[in-house]
């Protein structure tokens, strides 16, 4: 099967560069190019691509406005190309809120040390996103004078049937075929309190994670009784802006984690991009430890596995770990360790995941107890941890 791609960038040189990379994959066909957002909207309607690669800064209509128009009129999976600056991060987050599903640094040397690795990652992302049905934004962005989203109340909780079991079965779906054998995950939209003791909540995410994390965290109250540890695969220049935005949107406090700070309940700590976040304990108090990583390390930075494994030494099985949408299998081994100690593992379901990779990994290895729609995870967390 061949997937159609539209390349949008005001630089003809950059469009040619992206096209040369995608042309190396026989399953990808570049069906058109556009030099600005206005032309992109028109070509999406006429060419019906499976994936669009979109620059943020363009004349006539920028990438953010183009994403809004496309997702409103002819939804399609969109990957943004962004500069690794604070302003670039803010613009990219705006594009993700408007409906784009993923982003990559515009400079290929910022993606990977070797150009061939960067090209492979781009082709992989395009293929994965081409296979999924586009998901239109669930709600419009409220207008503000600052350009930031206002804090919004969570959706009302859905009532549980009187005779519902601990996990209310909704439907089963077969996992995407891949390196794992297909299995039938239990998909639920509600849970009943299990009575388990907790001391922390941990969430890992990658592709599609920024929007998914916001959906989950907007459910948590200002005085949530546990610390929350967040690991999102994201460049270092993005995580500070992302933490600021989450803090604006959510009632719980959200911040980029800092080395040496004491962990307190009611605060969500976002792992800094390009580094590793671990939790340590001294004199009975948990502290954040931010580790620099070897530049030669090609692993995830930050890594869900590294953070989750450190939690196992401090909180043991008193942890609820949630794996959200994302490529790869980061988080699986950390979840394995937590579950061996009695921790509870949940995963986002296939239908609401941008990429059902990380959730699939913990599901097929029978680590995740259930798969849950992203719109229901926040309320399920409140029910389980209340």
259: annotated active-site residue: no
| Helix H or strand E segment including 120 | helix 115-130
SS3 203: strand
User: Under DSSP, is residue 281 helix (H, G, I), strand (E, B) or coil?
Assistant: strand
What pairing do the DSSP bridges indicate for beta strands 3-8 and 51-55?
parallel
b/e sequence 199-225, b meaning 16+ C-beta within 10 Å: bbbbbbbbbbbbbbbbbbbbbbeeebe
Residue 206 is a catalytic residue: yes
User: Within 10 Å of residue 27's Cβ, how many Cβ atoms?
Assistant: 13
CB atoms within 10 A of CB 325: 27
Nearest to 217 by CA among 241, 191, 253, 192: 253
Q: Is residue 117 flagged as an active site residue?
A: no
- The catalytically annotated residue of 77, 83, 206, 303 is 206
342: left (phi over 0), alpha (psi -120 to 50) or beta: left
Q: What DSSP assignment string belongs to 229-279?
A: EEEE---HHHHHHHHHHHHHH-SSEEEE--TTPBP-TTEEEEPPTTSEEEE
Q: φ, ψ for residue 308 (rounded to 5)?
A: -65, -40
- Bridge partners of 55, per DSSP, are 81
Task: Output the six-digit token pair for 93.
Answer: 């987050």
Name residue, tokens 């601990």: 166
Q: Strands of the chain (E only): list them.
A: 3-8, 28-34, 51-55, 77-82, 102-105, 167-172, 186-191, 200-205, 228-232, 253-256, 267-270, 276-282, 285-291, 319-323, 344-348, 370-372
Query: Residue 80's closest CA among 300, 273, 238?
Result: 238
Instruction: Count other C-beta atoms under 10 Å from residue 153's C-beta.
Output: 8
Catalytic residue among 55, 233, 303, 352: 233
Given the residues 94, 330, 349, 373, the one annotated as active site: 330
Active-site residues, by number, are: 206, 233, 330
């Amino acid at each position: 099967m061949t997937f159609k791609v539209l390349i949008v960038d005001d630089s003809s040189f950059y469009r040619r560069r992206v096209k040369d990379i995608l042309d190396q994959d026989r399953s990808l066909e570049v069906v058109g190019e556009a030099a600005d957002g206005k032309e992109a909207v028109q070509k999406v309607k006429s060419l019906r691509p499976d994936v669009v690669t979109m620059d943020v800064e363009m004349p006539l209509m920028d990438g953010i406005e183009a994403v809004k128009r496309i997702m409103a009129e002819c939804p399609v999976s969109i990957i943004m190309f962004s500069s690794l600056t604070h302003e670039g991060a803010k613009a990219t987050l705006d594009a993700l809120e408007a409906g784009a599903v993923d982003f990559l640094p515009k400079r290929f040397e910022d993606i990977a040390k070797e150009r061939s690795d960067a090209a492979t990652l781009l082709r992989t992302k395009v293929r994965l996103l081409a296979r999924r049905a586009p998901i239109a934004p669930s709600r419009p962005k409220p207008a503000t004078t600052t350009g930031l989203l206002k804090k919004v109340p969570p959706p009302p909780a859905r009532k549980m049937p009187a005779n519902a079991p601990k996990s209310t079965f909704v439907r089963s779906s077969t996992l995407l075929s891949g390196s794992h054998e297909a299995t039938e995950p239990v998909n639920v939209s509600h849970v009943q309190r299990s009575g388990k003791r907790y001391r922390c909540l941990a969430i890992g995410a990658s592709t599609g994670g920024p929007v998914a994390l916001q959906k989950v965290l907007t459910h948590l109250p200002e005085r949530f009784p546990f610390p929350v540890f967040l690991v999102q695969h994201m460049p270092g220049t993005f995580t500070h802006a992302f933490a600021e935005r989450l803090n604006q949107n959510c009632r719980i406090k959200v911040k980029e984690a800092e080395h040496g700070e004491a962990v307190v309940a009611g605060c969500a700590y976002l792992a800094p991009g390009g580094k590793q976040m671990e939790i340590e304990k001294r004199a009975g108090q948990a502290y954040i430890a931010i580790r620099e990583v070897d530049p030669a390390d090609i692993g995830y930075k930050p890594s869900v596995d590294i953070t989750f494994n450190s939690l196992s030494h401090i909180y043991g099985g008193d942890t609820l770990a949630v794996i959200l949408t994302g490529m790869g299998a980061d988080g699986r081994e950390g979840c394995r360790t937590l579950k061996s100690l009695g921790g509870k593992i949940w995963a986002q379901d296939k239908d609401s995941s941008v990429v059902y990779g990380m959730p699939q990994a913990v599901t097929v290895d029978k680590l995740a107890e259930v798969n849950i729609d992203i719109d229901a995870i926040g309320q399920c967390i409140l029910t389980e941890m209340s």
